A and B are shown apart, each in its own frame.
Chain A
Amino acid sequence: MSIHLDQLILIVALGLFALYVIALRTALTDRIIYFLLAVIGAILVINPEFSTRIANRIGIGRGTDLLLYLFIVTALFYSVGVTAEMKRLRRQLTTVIREIAIANPSEGARKNPKDEG
Chain B
Amino acid sequence: MHVSSDTWIVIPAYNEEKKIGEVLDELVRYPYHVVVVDDGSRDQTRQIALCFPVTVLKHITNLGQGAALQTGIRYALSFPETRYVVTFDADGQHSASDILPMIDQCHSGDYDIVLGSRFLEKGKVINLEWQRRLVLKAAILFTRLMTGMQLTDTHNGLRVLTAKAAGKLNLTQNGMAHASELLSQVAAMKLRYCEAPVTILYSDYSRQKGQSLWNGFNILWDMLEGFLR
- A102→B10 CA distance, assembly (Å): 13
- In the bound complex, residues from chain B placing their C-beta under 8 Å from that of A102 are 57, 71, 74-75, 78
Q: Which of B48-56, B81-89, B127-135, B186-194 touches A?
A: B48-56
Contact partner, A98, options B35, B55, B70, Cβ 8 Å? B70
CB distance from A56 to the nearest CB of B (A): 36
- A83→B228 CA distance, assembly (Å): 8
Interface membership of B108, Cβ < 8 A: no
Verify A94–B228 contact, CB threshold 8 A: no
In the complex, number of A-B residue pairs with CB atoms less than 8 Å apart: 74
Verify A97–B61 contact, CB threshold 8 A: yes
Q: How many residues of B contact A (CB 8 A)?
A: 29
Verify A94–B58 contact, CB threshold 8 A: no
Interface membership of B217, Cβ < 8 A: no
CB distance from A85 to the nearest CB of B (A): 10
**DSSP majority for the A interface?**
helix
Chain A 77-116 interface mask (CB, 8 Å, partner B; 1/0): 0001001100100110110011011101111111100000
- A80→B71 CA distance, assembly (Å): 29
Verify A22–B229 contact, CB threshold 8 A: yes
Q: How many residues of A contact B (CB 8 A)?
A: 25
CB distance from A30 to the nearest CB of B (A): 10
18 A-B contacts, Cβ less than 8 Å apart?
A22-B227, A22-B228, A23-B229, A25-B229, A90-B174, A97-B60, A97-B63, A97-B67, A101-B37, A102-B57, A102-B71, A102-B74, A102-B75, A105-B35, A105-B57, A106-B56, A109-B53, A110-B53
Q: Which A residues are within 8 Å of any B CB, using their own CB?
A: 21-23, 25, 80, 83-84, 87, 90-91, 93-94, 97-98, 100-102, 104-111
Q: State the 8 A-B residue pairs at the shortest beta-carbon distance, nearest first.
A: A108-B50, A101-B57, A106-B56, A108-B54, A25-B229, A98-B71, A110-B53, A108-B52
